[in-house]
A and B are shown apart, each in its own frame.
Chain A
Amino acid sequence: MKSGKIMSTLFFLLIILIPLDLFLIFKVAPTEKIMGDVQRIFYLHVPLAFSAYLGFAGVFFSSILFLWRKNMFWDTAAYTSAEVGVLFSTLVLITGSFWARPVWNVWWTWDPRLITMLILWFIFIGYFLLRKGISDQFKKARYSAVLGIVGVIDIPVVRLATKWWRSIHPRLSREGGSLDPLMVKIFLFSLLTFLSFTVFLVFFRFRVARVEERVTSLMKRLED
């Protein structure tokens, strides 16, 4: 299937999925006993985190493929995934903060999951600073691919180190079974919606980036 076809299919699917997801989250999902309505952020916050990780996984694999194949196609795939990853990780940090204030009584706490997401965010802000500072396209691609790989590999180590340091983050416990089955279903639906949205955004941004690159190269040829 061509990327255009995937995009239009995803687009029409998302027109249905997103409003339905919002309806399920705000109207159908049961209100949590202790946290109340604020717990509904969970249906957005956790899928956003998965989406961010999906974006960064995209950077990782595209960067490896770029260094292997030396094809600028993979560089475009890497930095567009990085953009989507940064967007979603920013949203994860913001929604997490909104949730933490009423529940933990703080805007921010030094919990492993929070720190890991923040470190990832910093690494990929650095990724864009690096890209901005190099004018040669191929060099830019090579250097940012190295940073993309190193940055993503760092995540499990950061996670482990901060976990040993301290942890208070709520977990979806298997033994406790504290989550209502309807809540789980809605959560999974929301996750599916967000992951499809992420794939759509990466495809969309990728196509725009390819057009941008083509325009730049045409302009250069005109100047020459």
Chain B
Amino acid sequence: MSFLANAFSITSKDIRLEFRGKESLSLMLFLSLLLLVIFNFALDIDRDNISLLAPGILWVIFAFSGILGMGRTSMAERDEEAYLSIVFSPASAESFYLGKVLSNLLFLIIMESFTIIFFAVLFDFERIIGSLLELVPSLILGTVGFSLIGTLFSFLSTTSKYGEVLLPFLYLPVVVPILLGGVSSMDIVLNETVGEGTGKWHQIMIAFDILYFSLSLLLFKYLIEE
């Protein structure tokens, strides 16, 4: 089997697992909804400030719900050392990594889409749906970055005795450029900041994604070899 076919079979395994167990995605969605409610109490959100607050609220939710989901999908591999069957199979560590990145990416995109819809409905902010086309590039680039780092680090953290609890400590500092890029580009789109384009933020997210994709491909094998 080719590299990509191996990766896709890992992804489809995760999707099947998700359909049967409904573990990570449903948890992510519930956390997103819950965080939106909490933000509503914590910040005084109204018509005047919503477009200013939306980028921060949404990207914080994407980051935290993402941590929860990605921690779960890698715990599923660690439970009863399921990943060892992949280590002993002819499939390469890199294809395993890519497969996990793709499934995490898919779950993150679904979670983010629902979060944006929840946000539009709960805060009566339909304009965000109207601007979705302009937001898509930064959402995709940011989510790819989240998934690349999240997949690598969730495998790091689940080995430790602290388990998933460790993940935010490792993950959040490293994804700061993605958070900055995501929040800034959403801010530019929603608040129509004059003279500022989203281009440079897209560039930095592309650089981040390429850098971490190549780095993870080089390093992931060290996390699953026994």
Interface size band for B = 20 to 34
Those of B168-210 within 8 Å (CB) of chain A: 169-170, 172-174, 176-177, 180-181, 184, 200-201, 204, 207-208
Whether the Cβ atoms of A142 and B222 lie closer than 8 Å is yes
Does A10 interact with chain B (Cβ within 8 Å)?
Answer: no
Whether the Cβ atoms of A119 and B169 lie closer than 8 Å is no
Main SS at interface, chain A: helix
Instruction: Please pick, from B159, B166, B180, the residue contacting A165 in the complex, using a CB distance under 8 A.
Output: B180
Taking CB atoms, residues of chain A closer than 8 Å to B211 are 153, 157
Nearest B residue to A122 via CB reads: B173
Whether the Cβ atoms of B215 and A130 lie closer than 8 Å is no
Whether the Cβ atoms of A133 and B166 lie closer than 8 Å is yes
Nearest A residue to B172 via CB reads: A122
Interface pick from A35-43, A52-60, A144-152, A186-194: A144-152
Taking CB atoms, residues of chain A closer than 8 Å to B160 are 129-130, 132-134, 143
Given contacts A134-B159, A150-B215, contact A161 B177 (CB under 8 A): yes
Whether the Cβ atoms of A67 and B180 lie closer than 8 Å is no
Nearest A residue to B169 via CB reads: A126
Whether the Cβ atoms of B173 and A161 lie closer than 8 Å is no
Taking CB atoms, residues of chain B closer than 8 Å to A125 are 169
Greatest chain B CB density within 10 A among A67, A126, A135 is at A126
Nearest A residue to B162 via CB reads: A133
Nearest A residue to B173 via CB reads: A122
- Given A143-B222, A164-B200, A164-B201, 9 extra CB contacts under 8 A: A115-B176, A122-B169, A122-B173, A126-B170, A133-B161, A146-B156, A146-B222, A160-B177, A164-B180
B-binding residues in A (CB < 8 A): 67, 115, 119, 122-123, 125-126, 129-130, 132-135, 139, 142-143, 145-147, 149-151, 153-154, 157-158, 160-162, 164-165
A-binding residues in B (CB < 8 A): 149, 152-153, 156-157, 159-162, 166, 169-170, 172-174, 176-177, 180-181, 184, 200-201, 204, 207-208, 211-212, 215, 219, 222-223, 225
Q: Could you give 27 example pairs across A and B, Cβ below 8 Å? A: A119-B176, A122-B172, A122-B173, A126-B166, A126-B173, A129-B160, A130-B156, A130-B157, A133-B161, A133-B162, A146-B156, A146-B219, A150-B152, A150-B174, A150-B219, A151-B174, A154-B176, A154-B177, A157-B177, A157-B207, A158-B177, A161-B176, A162-B176, A162-B180, A164-B200, A164-B201, A164-B204
